[in-house]
Structure 1
Amino acid sequence: MKKLVLVFAMFVGLSTFAQEVKVKDITSKNSWLKLGLNAGVPMGDADDFASFALGLDVKGQFLVTPNFGIGLATGYSHLFGKDGADDFGIIPAAGFARYYFQKTGLFIGADLGYGFLMNVENNEGGLYVNPQIGYHNEDWNIFAFYQNTFAENDFDIRVLGIGATYNLRF
Structure 2
Amino acid sequence: MRKILVIGCMLLFGASLQAQEGLNVGINLGLPVGDASDFSSFSLGIDANYLWNVAESLDVGVATGFTNAFGKTYEILGAEFDAEDVQFIPIAAAGRYHVTDKFRAGADIGYAIGLNDGNDGGFYYRPILAYGFNDTMEVNFSYTGISLDGFTWSTISLGFMVNL
- Equivalent position amino acid for 2:131 in 1: Y
Q: Distance in 2 between matches of 1:106 and 1:148?
A: 23
1:159 aligns with 2:149: no
How much does 1:66 deviate? Answer: 3.0
**Residue in structure 1 matched with residue 97 of structure 2 by the alignment:** 99
Q: TM-score, normalised by structure 2?
A: 0.81
Structure 2 equivalent of residue 111 of structure 1 = 108
1:19 corresponding residue in structure 2: none
Equivalent AA in structure 1 for residue 86 of structure 2: F
Q: Percentage identity across aligned positions?
A: 34
Does residue 64 in structure 1 map to residue 54 in structure 2?
Answer: yes
Are residue 145 (structure 1) and residue 139 (structure 2) matched?
no
| 1:58 partner amino acid | A
Give the match for residue 20 of structure 1.
none
Q: Residues 32-71 of structure 1: CA distance to partner in whole angstroms, max 9, x if unpaired? A: 1101000010011111110001100011111112310011
Q: Secondary structure at the match of 1:76?
A: strand
Aligned-pair CA distance for 1:138: 0.8
- Structure 1 runs of 4+ aligned residues shifted over 2 Å read none
Name the residue aligned to 1:131: 127
Query: How many residues are paired up?
Result: 146
| 1:90 paired to 2:80 | no
Matched, 1:55 2:50: no
CA RMSD of aligned residues (A): 2.2
Structure 2 equivalent of residue 76 of structure 1: 66
TM-score by length of 1: 0.78
Q: Which consecutive residues of structure 1, in runs of 5 or more, have no partner in the other structure?
A: 16-22
2:78 aligns with none
CA-CA distance at 1:165 after TM superposition: 0.6
**Residue 45 of structure 1: SS of its match in structure 2?**
helix
Q: d(CA) in 2 for partners of 1:81 and 1:120?
A: 13
